[in-house]
Structure 1
Amino acid sequence: MSGALQKTLEFLAAVCLYVFLFYSIFAVYYTSPLVRGTSLVPLNVSHLATHLIFMVTDGMRADKLFGSQLKYTPFIRNILLNKGAWGLSHTRVPTESRPGHIAMLGGFYEDVASITKGWQANAVEFDSILNRSQRAWAWGTHEVVQAFGLNTVNLVMAKSSPSELSDLVKHSISDIDRWTVDQFLAELYNKETGFLATSPISTDQSSTLRKGHVAFLHLDAADLVGHAFKPNSNQYVELLRHLDGLVEEVVREVKKASEGLNVTVAFILTADHGMTDWGSHGAGSIHETVTPLLVWGEGLSGPKLLPDTEIGQPVPTDKYGLPPHIEGRVRRDIQQADLCPLMASLIGVPIPVNSVGRVPLALLNVSDSVKVKLVRANCLQLLSQLRLKREEKLRSHFKFFFKEFPLLNEQDTRRRLKEAEKLESSRAYPQSIVEYERLTELILAALNYYHTYDRQFLGVCIGITFALWSLAILSTLRGSILSETPECSRPLHIFRFVATGIVCFCGLLVLSLASLCPPSHTLCQLVPLVLALYLLWSPSLRRLLSTKHDSEFPRVTSRPSQDGTIHCSSFAIGLLRSVSSLCVLELLIWGFHYRPLLSAACLVVALWPLLDPSFGHGLTRVRCLWSFACLLLAVFPLLPVIGSFFQPFLAGFSGLVISAIGVLCSHWLSSSSACILPKYRPIHPSATDFRFGCIYGILAALASCAVLLVRSSIELPSVISLSIQLFSWSTLALPLVLFLRVPPRLGFRIFGSFSACVIPFILLSTGYEVIFLCVFLLVGLLWIRLEASSMKMNELWFINTRPHAAGHNEQPDDTKDALNFRNFRQSLFFIFLLVLSFFGTGNIASVNSFDPRSTYCFITLLKPAVMAVFLMLKLNPV
């Protein structure tokens, strides 16, 4: 095999391995909790309500609806005080629309990774309340309602709202809720096929236990107003008033239309997720994971009153910003998935087979005998999932190594069921309910145990893969400069064959269960075995293990001063650098949890020239400027997260400053004296290069003006708005076209790359991100200069960047040994700058920190898929 082909194959193998390591995160930690093949468990109770109206105010915060602003919703307040039960519904991460609605209507919490599938990829792969009902209607945004209207054999009528109603800059943004309610009212008075029309039960529906009519009203205005104007704005208060009027209208019209009909109606008002103060959601803060819940109507309990002795006492608020009771009405909390069995209990249909929710008996106005039947059906439905999940794990593991859930085995399950059924048959209903609920709690714990059963083992496999791959890289880097490959000694030869046999035997064990395991699990187990085989027969590793050599770190770290003396021992200097490196790494790790610690990491890096004389040796002024730039960079982690910080003037003004700086840098590059490198032809200044710099500067200035105009509170004419959008979209391609004309020299390439990225970045900015990008670029440029301290300024910035010239750009102090402190320092600084690029202004890689207002120059419609592309685009410059 030729050397070039071997290098190509090694490169492709390394790329595939890194892709696998990235994919392994999802394969190990984010797996679907669905259990296939479970059967329906009938409730064996009659329906509590014939019709159910389920209203979801997308993105509504509980403290806004039930807090001090309850005075703006008189009708909802009247329901809370006199007719219904109020409380909180606790969601899980990610706090997005898809997982929230699946939890409410399907009863299970979708894994975090599934949010990347999008609504379009979900063709109702799971059971839901809408599937169980006799007839169902859904109105709202396309991304939500269409997901529950597919593959339902015309049992679910789903209608999507017009996309223009989701425009984030419209002043009548609550029109989308008005449209949803109007659609419901039109169907309400349709006497032939409408919501209150009598639907005969067919043989197929009777066999599948379908009952009841369900109306799902997805009210998206709260989410739109929260994104556009934030939850603490006056527009949000107007939204609450509008929502109160719509709920009152729905209840009034339903009562009017159902007069004289043999129908009973139950109402549920809740939200799929909350929202932060800066108008985002997706993470796990309290305001995002707590949603309001208000239930009233047939089969639902009324207000729970406080004892008279506690009325009139001061009411403190808890961590959710809400009191435990409102005017003597006690709050009742449930999990979001509990809404699914609650709705199934109301209309008398089997709980959806994938549900992991528990029937909230406190919200139901039924006798204890009915409660026992409901909680028993809930327990059996969960038990059906557990038995299938346990059997699935048992089949995919060797029985000798399989460890059953210690708190609940099959014998214990049967015993507990018999005890609960015995109490039920003797009419000891409260005691029976307690037994069923205890068993349900253990079943849920067992489901979680088996769902995460392989997580620890697979995590160990991935850890071994990282270790073996690091050893392979070490042997390649270090072994390539050592002596020739020695002959393999007899003991080493025997060890290699024995180890190879063990690895192959383990591989056969893994392959024997491959057909019963997910492919990702098999791959996670096979990859470390393949790497182990590679290392066992690797000549580089044999050279590394057979050759004695000294560490390069003391030699590199003992650079003498100008007077020829060494002020401290190489060991002390090496120890100091090692401690500093560990401090930087630890600060970066803890910076994920405590963002100000990133500033401490910047301080350590700022002091690096004092710790490492070889860093920028002879460039005293540049070293001082490096320390100053790192101190400036340390300021940004102390500032508010960019998602909660909205200062469009700062973004626009920073863009104007950048445009001026860009023109000056372009002038310096184009007007520099000719730089004659030893191995290349002279590079002469060109007026064309300066013209390109001016074009970049003009585009940056126009982008800044566009930001100032769009972010202003003044309503722009449609012509100006359209012009800004056309300009913004064109800037995505125009800088890239101009970048193709940039000369292949390092300075011009850096300037062209920065200019091509910074223009869209300015258009997507809402605060100090542009200033951060400038400081970040300054630190990067100083890093390049200090690492190339042996080169002159003109030589450095006019290096030929063509691939064929890479071998001619080596510095005099470059060595063939890749394991020295200089390369370690470069790796450390690269990780440092990489982490700062993501978290210096907040977690800009998170949906939670992404402000939809940053896309107003491009699009004003709430399109999550398009905005996700802009999120990735915003990550590109840094």
Structure 2
Amino acid sequence: MNLPLFMVAGVLVHCVFLISIFDIYFTSPLVHGMTPHQTPLLPPAQRLVLFVADGLRADSLYELDNNGTSVAPYLRDIIISKGSWGVSHTRVPTESRPGHVALIAGFYEDVSAVARGWKENPVEFDSLFNESKYTWSWGSPDILPMFAKGASGDHVYSHCYEAGSEDFGAEDATVLDTWVFDHVKDFFNSARSNATLLSKLHEQKIVFFLHLLGIDTNGHAHRPHSREYKSNIRKVDEGVKEIVSLVEDFYRNDGNTAFILTSDHGMTDWGSHGAGHPSETLTPLVAWGTGIKSPQHVSSQQFDDEFLKEWKLEAWKRQDVNQADIAPLMASLIGVPFPLNSVGILPLGYLNNTARFKAESIFTNAAQILEQFKVKMAQKKKTTLSFLFSPFKSLSDSEQIDFLRKARTYIQHEKYEEAVSLCRELISLALQGLSYYHTYDRIFLGISVALSFVGWTSYVILVIIKAHTSLTWRTPNKDISSLLQYLFPAFGALIVIFLLIQSLPWTYYIYCLLPVPIWYAVLKEYPIIQALATSLLNIPWTHSVGFLLSSTLGIEILVFSFFYRSTLSCGLIAFSLWPLVSQLWTKAKAMVLSWILSCLLLAVFPLMPVVGRDQNIPLVSAAGLLILLSSSCLVALLWKSQKKYIHGKDLQVYLFQLLSLALSAYVVKTTHSSLESKQGLPLINQIISWTTLASSLIVPLLSSTVLFSRLLSILLSLMSTYLLLSTGYEVLFPPALALLMFVWINVEQEALQGYGVSLKPKLAALSFSYAADITEFQQLHVDDVRRSFFFVFFIVTAFFGTGNIASINSFDPASVYCFLTVFSPFMMGALLLWKIVIPFVLVSCAFEAVQVTTQLSSKRLFLIVLVISDIMALHFFFLVKDYGSWLDIGTSISHYVLVMSFAIFLMLLSGVAQLLTTKRLQLWEGNKQHSL
């Protein structure tokens, strides 16, 4: 096997597998070329004021305190005496940008945007602002520009505060909202003396948008049940009251203004959002003014939740909507065309208008969504052979005409309820049809990628058998080889012709043609396949079945652990029993006992709550001191036992690392104390934190390459950084993991003696720089599969040991406060990523040590790991979701991406681990380190 060629091919194949889910599951649902539709009747309002309180939970606004008073008395009074209210249910994902897209454009964020960030438009879309005559907006520079950028012409005006104003450590984040209110007041005051602006403000179909970010910032910094969060809601309530009074006074109470207050997403109790928890998906909706129904008193109403009793709002009709429904509501109020890509259904219960207006509005809504369906169907029909095209049967061309004709007839005969009912049915069918055509090619592409998966995994297994077993096989038959050489290119040519005729995207060629060379490479090795089949028939069936069952069970446990963290605990408990089954107990009882205890200790972590939900800074500080004390003892013990291999310069490195640990514990404690007292992040703490992070990958290279000496140095250096990024019990996870890794290295060397290896090098004398002679390494053994499985299991444990980090709602911004408090998603994301990677590095370094102590082929172990990860990836390929909550979608994507990129990730990790373990920087003069 040509190793470099195999590695390049492997990387390319895995990149195709990785990208495939974005073409199969996450292509843009948007279509272009539709005709705008708007209600033909006069709208009730000339203008709309939209307040979006970023990060405001429904219960936080509606609930009463212990004294029976509301935190937002003005809005409470609106609900009771002036307007309509309800809960807006958000969808994918509960983040600021997609939430605003749903509110203002009426469609749910293109899921492919998960790979592109939230700040720029990954796709062009229409919006309420674009359809308006003029829109003025105030607020965050992360939200407003994307709607101005997507608008045609020059009629959407944005007024933003400076980037970086969202500081989680600020003394008072309500300034973000008071800035908006103050600038709106200044805007209207200046308009009185500006004739041009005054003329624009008296046009019809205009929108004022106030984006209020303070609540979200205080929620992240102090949690939604904090005094700061509730105080910010009160400040917003007062500001809304002032703005409403200002607008009505400016327009002399002409009765042509509609007001809507809502939120883009909620927030969990631990101050995060992004997933599908009810506290994130339930947001308030309060509407009042022209065109909005007055409060409706009811005797009883039923909802799945118990909030009505808690909020003491049982007597006022609650009208829930989906978040995208708000866009057509706002368009209907001011009489602009519904946003072209909107999938929202107009909530008629909010409208205070005639039955005819409601019927005409819902008819417009149905026509607008049906227009999208027709364009989507035409696009798919154009790229599919006529005899293969399968139309959406529930909504044929004749049925579309029939629906519209009947609805129009009902309206003309003033049968408005029948018209509304028919339009709702048409909207439902059109939305189903949109989904049908959007996923039309999914099965076809999925089968192609699955064939590539199975073929690639089969080929890697054949490579392992060919290179690392004593299996013998016959010389390939020339006739069969020639047949394969002609058959597969011909098959590939047929696929190309089939795709060309349909004018399909170029990526389809990759997915459909990839199985051809892969299966050619597999079938070309047919002599090995024959020899393997013969060999398997000669093995006792009980052995084959036992190996197959145990392998299947092991992989299923790994897959299951991605959904249920407790599975990892079960696996670790099973691992603890392994030495007893393998009879290692009789050889080294003390070592086996250490293995059992360390496995059971690590098994505790997956049973604990997801990290990030509850801060416990005193625990982090105490754990830091405990780790410092135990590390000092380890350094002293190592210095005493290995003076022959390490020298005084190494001791200086250890002392520096112990000092870094002590400083990290101090920084964590003082930083959070300073933030709690509203004094911000101390500059000296920030400097120490960044210095510690920068040195964490360099300082270990100054220590000795003797096995345990270097591993201890790596642990101490990475632990200092991890301590700075911790907010709770997770600070204890790396030491527990490292303890098990140290024991694993010893146990694997002991287990190596079990199958004919007489050489047992002394662990204290082994060095990472020692190049073991593996030219005559042993043939493939079942223990190699176990070692590789252990490595994969420990990597998965490193990822999920303290929480499902695949879900972004488990991220606590407080974990990066030692480094920065000003909101910076990319910098914060990078720090979070490094926190996740640190346990991976510890496991990878331990695996390097296992290869050194057992003197086995790293290439063989890597190929086995590749097979295990690819089989897992095939599982997750079929489990990817593009529907449901962001928790479901984000988790399914991250699971697949994590496992799919495993091979590439392991190569990078292996490179980092080799750098950290084998390289040494010589910064001092004098005798060089003793080399082995």
Scaled by the length of structure 1, the TM-score of the pair is: 0.88
Assess if the C-alpha contact under 8 Å between 1:195 and 1:215 holds in 2.
no
What residue is the counterpart of 2:33 in the other structure?
Answer: 37
Q: CA deviation at 1:215?
A: 1.1
Task: Describe the SS at the equivalent of 2:762.
Answer: helix
The 3 A distance-change label for structure 1 pair 520 and 284 is: farther
Instruction: For 1:599, give the aligned amino acid.
Output: S
Q: CA deviation at 1:583?
A: 4.4
What residue is the counterpart of 1:304 in the other structure?
Answer: 296
Task: Describe the SS at the equivalent of 1:242.
Answer: helix
What residue is the counterpart of 1:23 in the other structure?
Answer: 19
Q: CA deviation at 1:81?
A: 0.6
Task: Describe the SS at the equivalent of 1:644.
Answer: coil
Say whether 1:228 aligns with 2:221: yes
What residue is the counterpart of 2:90 in the other structure?
Answer: 91
Q: Tell me the number of residue pairs that the alignment of Structure 1 and Structure 2 aligns.
A: 827
| CA distance in 2 between partners of 1:192 and 1:525 (Å) | 66
What residue is the counterpart of 2:657 in the other structure?
Answer: 696
Which one of 611, 614, 638 corresponds to residue 645 of structure 1?
614
Percent sequence identity over aligned pairs: 33
Q: Deviations over 1:405-451 (max 9, x none)?
A: 23222222122222222222222121111111100110011111111
What residue is the counterpart of 2:252 in the other structure?
Answer: 259
Q: CA deviation at 1:816?
A: 3.0
Which one of 752, 770, 779 corresponds to residue 816 of structure 1?
779
Instruction: For 2:268, give the aligned amino acid.
Output: T
The 3 A distance-change label for structure 1 pair 798 and 329 is: farther
Instruction: For 2:830, give the aligned amino acid.
Output: V
What residue is the counterpart of 1:850 in the other structure?
Answer: 811
Within-5 A mapping of 1:45-60 = 45-60=41-56
Assess if the C-alpha contact under 8 Å between 1:503 and 1:532 holds in 2.
no
Which one of 279, 298, 307 corresponds to residue 271 of structure 2?
279
Assess if the C-alpha contact under 8 Å between 1:746 and 1:801 holds in 2.
yes
Q: Deviations over 1:675-703 (max 9, x none)?
A: xxxxxxxx732111121111111101101
Question: Where do 5+ consecutive residues of structure 2 fail to align?
Answer: 754-758, 840-932
Which one of 583, 590, 601 corresponds to residue 571 of structure 2?
601
Task: Please identify, of 273-282 and 413-422, the stretch whose mean Cα deviation from structure 2 is larger.
Answer: 413-422
Instruction: For 1:295, give the aligned amino acid.
Output: A
Task: Please identify, of 128-137 and 752-761, the stretch whose mean Cα deviation from structure 2 is larger.
Answer: 752-761
What residue is the counterpart of 1:205 in the other structure?
Answer: none
Assess if the C-alpha contact under 8 Å between 2:102 and 2:109 holds in 1.
yes
Say whether 1:795 aligns with 2:762: yes
Instruction: For 2:220, give the aligned amino acid.
Output: H
Assess if the C-alpha contact under 8 Å between 2:645 and 2:765 holds in 1.
no
The 3 A distance-change label for structure 1 pair 112 and 779 is: farther
| CA distance in 1 between partners of 2:731 and 2:692 (Å) | 17
The 3 A distance-change label for structure 1 pair 603 and 263 is: same
Assess if the C-alpha contact under 8 Å between 2:113 and 2:122 holds in 1.
no
What residue is the counterpart of 1:268 in the other structure?
Answer: 260
Instruction: For 2:779, give the aligned amino acid.
Output: K
What residue is the counterpart of 1:186 in the other structure?
Answer: 186
What residue is the counterpart of 1:426 in the other structure?
Answer: 413
Q: Deviations over 1:783-839 (max 9, x none)?
A: 22222224899734654434xx555269x9x5232xx32122123222321222122
Assess if the C-alpha contact under 8 Å between 1:187 and 1:195 holds in 2.
no
Instruction: For 1:778, give the aligned amino acid.
Output: L
What residue is the counterpart of 1:399 in the other structure?
Answer: 386
| CA distance in 1 between partners of 2:507 and 2:156 (Å) | 36
Assess if the C-alpha contact under 8 Å between 1:503 and 1:533 holds in 2.
no
Assess if the C-alpha contact under 8 Å between 2:54 and 2:216 holds in 1.
yes
Q: CA deviation at 1:357?
A: 1.0
Q: Deviations over 1:229-278 (max 9, x none)?
A: 11122222222222221121111222222216x56111111110111111
What residue is the counterpart of 1:679 in the other structure?
Answer: none
Question: Where do 5+ consecutive residues of structure 1 fail to align?
Answer: 202-209, 555-569, 675-682
Task: Describe the SS at the equivalent of 1:154.
Answer: coil
The 3 A distance-change label for structure 1 pair 25 and 823 is: farther
Within-5 A mapping of 1:445-524 = 445-480=432-467, 481-482=469-470, 486-489=474-477, 492-493=480-481, 496=484, 499-500=487-488, 503-509=491-497, 511-512=499-500, 515-517=503-505, 519-524=506-511
Instruction: For 1:167, give the aligned amino acid.
Output: D
Assess if the C-alpha contact under 8 Å between 1:195 and 1:213 holds in 2.
no
Assess if the C-alpha contact under 8 Å between 1:337 and 1:357 holds in 2.
yes
| CA distance in 2 between partners of 1:402 and 1:500 (Å) | 27
Assess if the C-alpha contact under 8 Å between 2:255 and 2:290 holds in 1.
no
Assess if the C-alpha contact under 8 Å between 1:107 and 1:128 holds in 2.
yes
Q: CA deviation at 1:321?
A: 7.6
| CA distance in 1 between partners of 2:185 and 2:51 (Å) | 14
Task: Please identify, of 317-326 and 455-464, the stretch whose mean Cα deviation from structure 2 is larger.
Answer: 317-326
Instruction: For 1:288, give the aligned amino acid.
Output: E
The 3 A distance-change label for structure 1 pair 506 and 837 is: farther
Q: Deviations over 1:730-773 (max 9, x none)?
A: 11212223233233343344233333322221111000112111
| CA distance in 1 between partners of 2:601 and 2:571 (Å) | 12
Assess if the C-alpha contact under 8 Å between 1:33 and 1:110 holds in 2.
no
What residue is the counterpart of 1:543 in the other structure?
Answer: 528
Assess if the C-alpha contact under 8 Å between 2:488 and 2:516 holds in 1.
no
What residue is the counterpart of 2:883 in the other structure?
Answer: none
Instruction: For 2:474, give the aligned amino acid.
Output: P
Q: CA deviation at 1:494?
A: 7.6
Which one of 368, 381, 386 corresponds to residue 373 of structure 2?
386
Assess if the C-alpha contact under 8 Å between 2:49 and 2:257 holds in 1.
yes
The 3 A distance-change label for structure 1 pair 667 and 29 is: farther
Instruction: For 1:12, give the aligned amino acid.
Output: V
Which one of 662, 666, 675 corresponds to residue 631 of structure 2?
662
Task: Describe the SS at the equivalent of 1:68.
Answer: coil
Task: Describe the SS at the equivalent of 1:407.
Answer: helix
Assess if the C-alpha contact under 8 Å between 1:747 and 1:797 holds in 2.
yes
What residue is the counterpart of 1:757 in the other structure?
Answer: 718
Which one of 640, 644, 668 corresponds to residue 707 of structure 1?
668
Q: Deviations over 1:612-665 (max 9, x none)?
A: 33x688333222211111111121122221121211111122222223333443
Instruction: For 1:57, give the aligned amino acid.
Output: A
| CA distance in 2 between partners of 1:546 and 1:398 (Å) | 44
Instruction: For 1:198, give the aligned amino acid.
Output: S
Assess if the C-alpha contact under 8 Å between 2:169 and 2:681 holds in 1.
no
What residue is the counterpart of 2:877 in the other structure?
Answer: none
Q: CA deviation at 1:525?
A: 2.0
Instruction: For 1:447, give the aligned amino acid.
Output: L
Q: CA deviation at 1:459?
A: 2.4
| CA distance in 1 between partners of 2:82 and 2:195 (Å) | 27
Say whether 1:167 aligns with 2:167: yes
Q: CA deviation at 1:582?
A: 4.5
The 3 A distance-change label for structure 1 pair 586 and 212 is: same
| CA distance in 1 between partners of 2:404 and 2:319 (Å) | 28
Instruction: For 1:512, give the aligned amino acid.
Output: L
Q: Deviations over 1:452-503 (max 9, x none)?
A: 2222332222222211111010111112345666334488458636752663
Assess if the C-alpha contact under 8 Å between 2:360 and 2:411 holds in 1.
no
Assess if the C-alpha contact under 8 Å between 2:492 and 2:513 holds in 1.
no
Say whether 1:835 aligns with 2:796: yes
| CA distance in 1 between partners of 2:144 and 2:694 (Å) | 35
Assess if the C-alpha contact under 8 Å between 2:384 and 2:502 holds in 1.
no
| CA distance in 2 between partners of 1:616 and 1:755 (Å) | 31
What residue is the counterpart of 2:99 in the other structure?
Answer: 100
- Over aligned residues, Cα RMSD in angstroms? 3.0
What residue is the counterpart of 1:677 in the other structure?
Answer: none
What residue is the counterpart of 1:566 in the other structure?
Answer: none
| CA distance in 1 between partners of 2:134 and 2:95 (Å) | 27
Assess if the C-alpha contact under 8 Å between 1:636 and 1:840 holds in 2.
yes
Instruction: For 1:590, give the aligned amino acid.
Output: F
Task: Describe the SS at the equivalent of 2:388.
Answer: coil
Task: Describe the SS at the equivalent of 1:874.
Answer: helix
The 3 A distance-change label for structure 1 pair 490 and 11 is: closer
